[in-house]
């Protein structure tokens, strides 16, 4: 078991919630994860995290989405936990180096997405260039609202899993 997980298992409820919150961004998800402790290892924690995420509702999903900055930006819609902000910067590192034309296209596509779906665009951007993210965003603009919500929820799940692994390896 990682030292981080071992220590987290012993924290008071409120501290445990605060510590895991940056992995997802939903306070209710963080609360439910802290209640489920102790976890014996990473695999058990990841399984529980996925279950709690899929059992969440649209309100919790939207809160998690708002904890991220827009693709190509550095500040989240909701004030972000310091660790979440740092992870977002890492995850968008390849997008940050895009040329002005791609950055402008991303900003415009983000605006269109928010008008169409009334939420920010969520994608697991780790390892993707700004051009790849723009292509994904444009494709997802064609989704109907129900399918797009499912895709956004899945992208957030992938982000959450990556962040849990980062957190445990600190």
Which residues are identified as catalytic? Answer: 68
* Residue 73, phi then psi, degrees to nearest 5: -115, 170
Exposure string over 91-125, b if 16+ CB within 10 A, otherwise e: bbebbeebeeebbebbeebbeebeeebebbbbbbb
């Amino acid at each position: 078991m990682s030292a981080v997980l071992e220590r987290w298992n012993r924290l008071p409820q409120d501290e445990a919630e605060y510590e895991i919150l940056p992995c997802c961004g939903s306070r209710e998800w963080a609360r439910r994860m802290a209640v489920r402790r102790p976890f014996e290892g990473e695999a058990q924690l990841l399984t529980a995290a996925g279950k709690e995420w899929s059992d969440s509702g649209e309100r919790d999903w939207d809160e998690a989405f708002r904890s991220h900055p827009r693709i190509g930006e550095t500040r989240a819609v909701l004030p972000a936990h310091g660790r979440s902000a740092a992870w977002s910067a890492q995850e968008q590192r390849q997008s940050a180096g895009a040329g002005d034309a791609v950055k402008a296209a991303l900003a415009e596509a983000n605006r269109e997405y928010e008008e169409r779906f009334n939420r920010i665009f969520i994608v697991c951007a780790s390892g993707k260039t700004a051009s790849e993210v723009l292509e994904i965003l444009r494709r997802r603009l064609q989704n109907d609202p129900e399918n797009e919500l499912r895709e956004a929820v899945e992208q957030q799940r992938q982000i959450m899993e990556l962040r849990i692994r980062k957190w445990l390896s600190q």
